Structure 1
Amino acid sequence: MTLLSKRLQAVYQMVDNNSRVADIGSDHAYLPVELIEQKVALYAIAGEVAKGPMSRSKEDVEKFGLSNKIDVRLGDGLAVIEANDQIDTVVIAGMGGILIQSILTRATVEQLSNVKTLILQPNIGEPLVRHWLVENNFQIVDEDIIAEDHHVYEIIKANKVTEPISLTEPEFLMGPVLMQKKTPTFVAKWQHKLDGYHKATANMLHAKKVDQLKIDAMNQSIKYIEETLL
Structure 2
Amino acid sequence: MELLSNRLKSVYDMVDPESRVADIGSDHAYIPIELVQNNIIDFAIAGEVVEGPMNISKQHVENFGLSNKIQVRLGNGLDVILGPDLIDTVIIAGMGGILIENILSKSTSEQLENVKNLILQPNIGEPLVRKWLSENNFEIIDENIINEDNHTYEIIKAKKIKNPKVLSESELLMGPILSKTKKEAFISKWSRKLESYEKSLKNIQRAKNIDQDKVNQITNNIELVKEVLK
TM-score range, shorter chain: over 0.9
Structure 1 residue 212, shift from structure 2 partner? 1.3
Q: Which amino acid aligns with 2:133?
A: L
Correspondence for 1:95:
95
Q: Which amino acid aligns with 2:188?
A: A
SS at match of 1:68: coil
Counterpart Cα distance in 2 of 1:5 and 1:164: 32
**Contact persistence 1:137–1:165 (CA under 8 A):** no
Counterpart Cα distance in 2 of 1:189 and 1:208: 31
Identity, % of aligned positions? 60
Counterpart Cα distance in 1 of 2:107 and 2:206: 45
Correspondence for 1:35:
35
Correspondence for 1:166:
166
Correspondence for 1:3:
3
Deviation digits for residues 15-41 of structure 1 (CA, Å, limit 9, x no counterpart)? 000100000000100000000001111
Structure 1 residue 208, shift from structure 2 partner? 1.3
In the TM superposition, structure 1's runs of 4+ consecutive aligned residues that sit over 4 Å from their partners are none
SS at match of 1:143: strand
Correspondence for 2:203:
203
Structure 1 residue 165, shift from structure 2 partner? 2.9
Counterpart Cα distance in 2 of 1:212 and 1:110: 44
Deviation digits for residues 173-203 of structure 1 (CA, Å, limit 9, x no counterpart)? 0000001110010000000000001011011
Q: Which amino acid aligns with 2:197?
A: Y
Counterpart Cα distance in 2 of 1:23 and 1:209: 47
Counterpart Cα distance in 2 of 1:91 and 1:200: 35
Counterpart Cα distance in 1 of 2:69 and 2:164: 35
SS at match of 2:23: strand
SS at match of 1:111: helix
Q: Which amino acid aligns with 2:84?
A: N
**Contact persistence 1:58–1:72 (CA under 8 A):** yes
State yes or no: 1:132 paired with 2:152. Answer: no
Q: How many residue pairs end up in the alignment?
A: 230
Counterpart Cα distance in 2 of 1:100 and 1:42: 26
State yes or no: 1:220 paired with 2:220. Answer: yes
SS at match of 1:107: coil
State yes or no: 1:176 paired with 2:173. Answer: no
**Contact persistence 1:145–1:155 (CA under 8 A):** yes
Task: State the TM-score, normalizing by the size of structure 1.
Answer: 0.99
**Contact persistence 1:97–1:125 (CA under 8 A):** yes
SS at match of 2:20: strand
**Contact persistence 1:139–1:159 (CA under 8 A):** yes
After alignment, is 156-165 or 72-81 more displaced?
A: 156-165
